Amino acid sequence: MSDDVPASAWEQGLEELFLRIGHRSPRIEPRRRMRDYVRGLLGPVGRKNSWQLAEFVGHSTPDGLQHLLAKSRWEPDEIRDDVQAYVAEHLGATDGVLITDDTGFVKKGITSAGVQRQYSGTAGRTENCQISVFAAYATTRGRALVDRELYLPKSWTDDAERCRAARIPQQRGFATKNDLARAMILRAQAGPLPSTWVTADAASGQDSRFRRFLEDTGLSYVVAVPKSQQVHGPRIDYLIGQAPAEAWQRLTCGNGANGARHKARRTGGAASWAGRRATLSTGCRRTGSRRRRRARSRGRA
């Protein structure tokens, strides 16, 4: 959750979390296997398959871990709710930020739920893969993953027999990645996680329905958009180009693979566009509802 936490504190926190979710499984064997499985996922295991995870945690075969995932009775959404409550207790802050993004998992076969040839941002190309949408929660106290949804392409949702074979619930229909992100944001808002901000990449930012959803929900947001994005007529790269050099403040977003990552934030000056501030060439920030923004805009006119 935080980069500067000693290993002993991580161990203690993990045990606390296991105790919190233990009641979700009535038998001790699944609880032990769940603990081993999570430790394996967090450990230095090259490939996170059942064989290598079992070897890492000291099991002679992967049968126990496979039974946990395929046959044991436990409800993942209930454990998600427990995790969110735990994160809220340890990291919660009124200015918390929800971060949504999708991740691809490259696969070799065709039977894993949702797998097909599709673009994976993780791989940077079209691959045979699964895509999942994740939600993370971040404050000045740390950060943690708090929700997930598996993306099912229409090639799956239109094939009832294939979904049945993969044990996908019958009521599960097609939903876009942004639909899944919206559902997770609404769940977080209804749960214990205090948050006032949402951030997402251009796949969500260029979707006007997603931005309207955030505005109607009353959440402030920062989303990436392509430079061709239009803002009340002009393209965003044109509007940004009108701001003088002194209107920008250079900030670091932390270190990346090629060193420090910098963004320029517009802080005022010329080319004001209805109170919005843009991050250089990719981002847009809007706060509050459209009605409040229109009122503020009329007050400045």
| Interval 157-168: pLDDT, tens | 999 999 999 999
pLDDT at 10: 80
Residue 106: pLDDT over 80 = yes
What is the arithmetic mean of pLDDT over 71-79? 91
What is the arithmetic mean of pLDDT over 142-158? 96
pLDDT bin (cut points 50, 70, 90) of residue 2 is: low
- Among the residue ranges 77-81, 194-198, 205-209, 285-289, the one predicted with the least confidence is 285-289
pLDDT tens-digit readout, 245-280: 888 888 777 777 677 776 666 554 433 333 343 343
Residue 281: pLDDT over 50 = no
Locus of tokens 């999570």: 38
Q: What are phi and psi of 250, to 5 degrees?
A: -90, 125
Q: What is the mean pLDDT of the chain?
A: 85
Check: CB of residue 260 under 8 Å from CB of residue 254: yes
pLDDT tens-digit readout, 5-61: 677 888 888 888 899 998 898 889 999 999 999 999 999 998 889 999 999 999 999
- Distance from C-alpha of 279 to C-alpha of 248, rounded to nearest angstrom: 9
pLDDT at 285: 46
- Distance from C-alpha of 286 to C-alpha of 288, rounded to nearest angstrom: 7
- Among the residue ranges 1-5, 59-63, 208-212, the one predicted with the least confidence is 1-5
What is the arithmetic mean of pLDDT over 67-75? 90
pLDDT at 40: 94
Q: What are phi and psi of 287, to 5 degrees?
A: -125, 135
* Closest C-alpha among 112, 107, 109 to residue 127: 107
What DSSP character marks residue 24? Answer: G
> Within 10 A of 236 (CB to CB), how many other CB atoms are there?
21
